[in-house]
Amino acid sequence: MSVDPSYTEYPLRRRGMDHDLYDWSNMFDRPPAPWTGVAIWPVISLEWFPILPSDAPFRAPGHMQTAYPDFRHYTAREYGTRVGFYRLLDAFEKVGARVTIACNGAIAERYPELIADIVRGGHEIVAHSTDMNGTIASTLPEADERALIHASIEAIKHATGKRPRGWLSIARSQSFATPRLLAEAGLAYMCDWSHDELPVGFRTEAGQIVNLPLNHELSDRQILTVQQQSVDSYAEQMQDAYRWLSGEAQNYGGRMLPLHLTPYIMGLPYRIDAFERLLAWFKDQPDHWFATGSDLVDAACQS
């Protein structure tokens, strides 16, 4: 089979990006961020996995894996929601940090006590789809995607009394319409694109939306589950990252370090001690700032 003649034509080969969502920019040439030191941005994904998984448009990471009924994975994910999540909340309370919770709409509907505890702790909730069957890709009809975004926002608004300001897609997967639909829904920020290490404004036909890069390479899922490293190695990697960013912050202005956590991964008894020690180490760093997504977006938009 040979390639079509159009395969060697490059209609978008031009100055700048090959799309209109954002401009290219060198992070080291930008005006300094409006904070000093390292903003540590903890994000906990709080997810409900139906025991009847859907593969349309794709099956979410962490979803059911065996033939029905997959008690193993259904209950192990619920362990994270019932137990592991509280270990993480307690760990952050010990260091006085407020965190961002990426919450499925189904969690808000099913577990109001959990939502009340999050709100009481002063944490921020961002919308994270409906449940773990609510994946987005370019094969999802736009009307369905719009309805999914609306339903997840409404579920959180109903449970907390407040509209969420942020959005995280499952597996960070978007369609070409997603940034526009999120802006249209009135959201201030999304966390899906990991192309940068500071907040970046996106243009859409429905107005601007900020992307806060939630680096997937620094997540507990990537390091512990995908790359199969120990929690001690995870903690060492976060400390190495912090030290490097702290050095850059002195020369270039504030930096951000995302900590993306999954209750059924990090909230296990044999891992949580090392994680608590890491948080205590962060708290001892003189230039640290535990920030929520809204803290970062508000700071970036005021500058």
Q: Does 262 bind another protein (CB under 8 A)?
A: no
Shortest Cβ 265–another protein spacing (Å): 16
Select 159 or 191, whichever has its Cβ closest to another protein. 191
Please give the angle made by the CA atoms of 75, 70 and 81, to the nearest 5 degrees: 20
- Tell me the window of 93-101, 186-194, 201-209, 289-297 that interacts with another protein (CB under 8 A): 186-194
- In whole angstroms, the minimum distance from the beta carbon of 259 to another protein comes to 12
Q: Which stretch binds another protein (CB under 8 A): 86-94, 124-132, 221-229, 260-268?
A: 221-229
Measure the CA–CA gap between 111 and 51, rounded to whole angstroms: 17
Selected from 141, 217, 250, 273, the binder of another protein by CB under 8 A is 217
Q: Are 208 and 180 in contact (CB under 8 A)?
A: no
Q: Does 6 bind another protein (CB under 8 A)?
A: yes
Binding residue (CB under 8 A) for another protein from 1, 68, 120, 143: 1
Q: Which of 120, 228, 269, 302 touches another protein (CB under 8 A)?
A: 228
Q: Which tokens sit at 171?
A: 């597996």
Among 55, 157, 193, 220, binds another protein (CB under 8 A): 193
* CA R_g for the chain: 20
Answer for which of 119, 237, 283, 295 binds another protein (CB under 8 A) is 237
Residue with Cβ nearer another protein (71 or 244)? 244
Closest CA to 272 of 118, 94, 96, 61: 94
Q: How many CA atoms lie within 13 A of 215 on its CB side?
A: 15
Question: From residue 189, how far is each of 7, 31, 121, 214, 299 by CA, in Å?
Answer: 36, 20, 22, 12, 13
Q: Please report whether residue 56 would count as binding another protein according to CB under 8 A.
A: no
Q: How far is Cα 223 from Cα 226, in angstroms, rounded to an integer?
A: 6
When the beta carbons of 45 and 81 are compared against another protein, the nearer one is 45
Contact letters for another protein, residues 13-52 (x by CB under 8 A): xxxxxxx----xxxxx------------------------
How many residues bind another protein (CB under 8 A)? The answer is 62
75 binds another protein (CB under 8 A): no
Query: Which window, 41-49, 88-96, 170-178, 201-209, contacts another protein (CB under 8 A)?
Result: 170-178
Residue 191: which of 112, 263, 103, 131 has the closest Cα?
103
Q: Does residue 192 touch another protein according to CB under 8 A?
A: yes
Out of 69, 226, 273, 303, which residue is the one contacting another protein (CB under 8 A)?
Answer: 226
Q: DSSP secondary structure string, 230-256?
A: -HHHHHHHHHHHHHHHHHHHHHH--EE
Could you report how far apart the first and last alpha carbons of the chain are, in Å? 54
- Helix, strand or coil, per DSSP, at residue 103: strand
- H/E stretch holding 201 reads strand 200-204
Q: Closer CB to another protein, residue 20 or residue 90?
A: 20
Q: Give me the phi and psi of 6, to 5 degrees please.
A: -70, -15
| List of residues contacting another protein (CB under 8 A) | 1-8, 10, 12-19, 24-28, 57-58, 137-139, 169, 171-176, 192-197, 213, 215-218, 223, 226-229, 233, 236-238, 240-245, 255, 257
